[in-house]
Amino acid sequence: MRRILVTGSSRGLGLEFVKQLLEKGNQIIACNRNPLKYTDLLELKNKFEDKLILIDLDVSSKDSIDNAFTMISKEVDGLDILINNAGIRFGGEKYCDELGKLHKEDFCNIFSVNTVAPVLMVEKFLPLIKNGRNPIIVNISSTSGSIGRRSRKGGGYSYSASKAALNMITKALSVDLEEDTITVISIHPGWVKTSMEYTENAPLTTYESIKGMKRVIEGLSVKDSGKFFDWEGNELPW
């Protein structure tokens, strides 16, 4: 049994992570805003009881991260895996980040959730991660953040930049945490049909994506730290 914290766990990839990891017998700490209002999470709580801990967390708020750490520290003395899954595609309700349509506030909102929040989570939860068994930090990234694969036109400035910056954070953390033998990776989940905008035609289901990512995570060792993978285990260019 591994102790695993998942952010953004109320729907989509996060919820599917929670489901599949619980079915493997792990103890899951599911974090998202107002978790008690989500029927799927409550049903899982009733089914798995003490194996699932629901925590209220807004990753864009440092106070909320601090409060979550206090609550989680009362439940576990270590974390084996931290999955920084929470993310947003647009910073505003009707946002379109093409040249001529950029908005500073929305750009900053995306960076707050997709880039700043993951490193603040690691920073705050590091004492628990260091107490984990063969600890792993997983940052959910995207091929949109791969500078080496950027070729298409059509904007995507804020989301792509936020994921490219997240990849740099992954690399920096892997170097800083090497002596603690903490494995840190970025992973692309594939193009998945979720509630996120413009995924209606995506070829992958959340089940397929998480099944693949779970296999990748289970096969990691410290030699993989600082790498960027896709959901099938292929290494991607930065």
pLDDT tens across 132-171, in order? Answer: 999 999 999 999 999 987 767 666 888 999 999 999 999 9
CB atoms within 10 A of CB 31: 30
- Which structure tokens are listed for 124? 């705050």
Question: Is 201's pLDDT higher than 50?
Answer: yes
Domain membership flag for residue 62: yes
Q: Which residues pair with 138 in a beta bridge?
A: 83, 185
Give tens-digit pLDDT for 32-64.
999 999 999 999 999 999 999 999 999 999 999
Domain membership flag for residue 162: yes
CATH number (domain holding residue 92): 3.40.50.720
Q: Structural domain of residue 54, as residue ranges?
A: 3-230
Domain membership flag for residue 235: no
pTM above 0.75, yes or no: yes
Domain membership flag for residue 21: yes
pLDDT at 96: 62
What average pLDDT does this structure show over 23-28? 97
Domain membership flag for residue 238: no
Domain membership flag for residue 237: no
> How many separate domains does the chain show?
1
Query: What strands, in cross-sheet order, belong to the sheet with 228-230?
Result: 52-56, 27-32, 3-7, 81-84, 136-140, 183-188, 228-230
Domain membership flag for residue 22: yes
Give tens-digit pLDDT for 69-81.
999 999 999 999 9
Rounded to whole angstroms, how far apart are CA atoms 43 and 90? 30
Domain membership flag for residue 146: yes
Question: Is 198's pLDDT higher than 90?
Answer: no
Of 33, 3, 13, give the one whose Cα is nearest residue 194. Answer: 13
